[in-house]
Amino acid sequence: MDAQDDDLAGKLPHSVHENLGTIAEFHERKKEQLSPAQAFFERVSLVLGTPAYVAANLVFAVCWIAWNLVAPNIGFTQIDEPPFFWLQGLIGLNAFIISTAVLIRQNRMSKLANHHAHVDLQVSLLADEKTSKIIQMLEELRRDMPGVRNKVDEEADELAQRTDTEAVITAIERESDGINCERK
């Protein structure tokens, strides 16, 4: 930990540090669950997605073309005559490898995103339950305090009710189905 981390640690509540640690542990567990092949493709796709890789490919293609155009004139063997059949094959193979590596990584990231969405929904529902309970307790406290006039607060009464998870899921599915129908 450097000085900047120490300064930041003093400004954040302990619970934030605990949550950040939990999230870091979650990501570490997900990394550990990767198969060796998946880990290999993760590393490959990280390299394939860099500007340096694109630049190296462009330099290679230009050098290949230049060599094959100049080689016969300077007494060397021409490897690939225009229209550069071998270069086209190498570029096609490169495109296949890149697209496959990217698709493999995107597939895993999509599964991870779905898992995150599921966890987010669970946390949101739990937070809703806690908020409802707090509102119930405050309303109960308000009713029990002799110095506070008793009044009906319909919004507080509504918010104090626990969310019906099944109703929320059904509403989301109906909304999603309506959106999908409009797109067709």
Residue 89 placed within a domain: yes
Residue 105 placed within a domain: yes
Residue 83: DSSP 8-state: T
Residue 49, SS3 per DSSP: coil
**Counted domains in the chain:** 1
Is the bond leading into 82 cis (omega within 30 degrees of zero)?
Answer: no
Q: How far apart are the first and last CA of the chain?
A: 54
Query: In this predicted structure, which of 34-43, 90-99, 161-170 has the lowest mean pLDDT?
Result: 161-170
User: Measuring CA to CA, which residue among 149, 147, 129 is closest to residue 137?
Assistant: 129
Query: What pTM does this model have?
Result: 0.59
Residue 27 placed within a domain: no
SS3 content of the chain, % helix, strand, coil (to 5): 80, 0, 20
Do 44 and 99 meet the contact criterion of CB atoms below 8 Å apart?
no
- Quick one: pLDDT band at residue 67, thresholds 50, 70, 90? very high
pLDDT digits 0-9 by tens, 155-180 = 877 877 777 778 878 888 888 777 65
Helix axes 85-144, 36-48, angle to 10 degrees: 110
pLDDT, mean of residues 51-60: 95
Residue 174 placed within a domain: yes
Top pLDDT among 181 and 56 is at 56
Is it the case that residue 122 has pLDDT exceeding 60? Answer: yes
Which residue carries 């570029």 as its tokens? 91
Say what the pLDDT of residue 9 is.
59
Residue 15 placed within a domain: no
Domain around 137: 34-183
Residue 168 placed within a domain: yes
Top pLDDT among 96 and 22 is at 96
How far apart (Å, rounded) are the C-alpha atoms in residues 160 and 130? 10
Which residue carries 């995103």 as its tokens? 113
Say what the pLDDT of residue 96 is.
95
Q: Encode 117-156 in three state secondary structure.
A: HHHHHHHHHHHHHHHHHHHHHHHHHHHHCCCCCCCCCHHH
Residue 29 placed within a domain: no
Is it the case that residue 31 has pLDDT exceeding 70? Answer: yes
Is it the case that residue 34 has pLDDT exceeding 60? Answer: yes
Is it the case that residue 3 has pLDDT exceeding 60? Answer: no
Residue 9 placed within a domain: no
pLDDT, mean of residues 144-165: 77
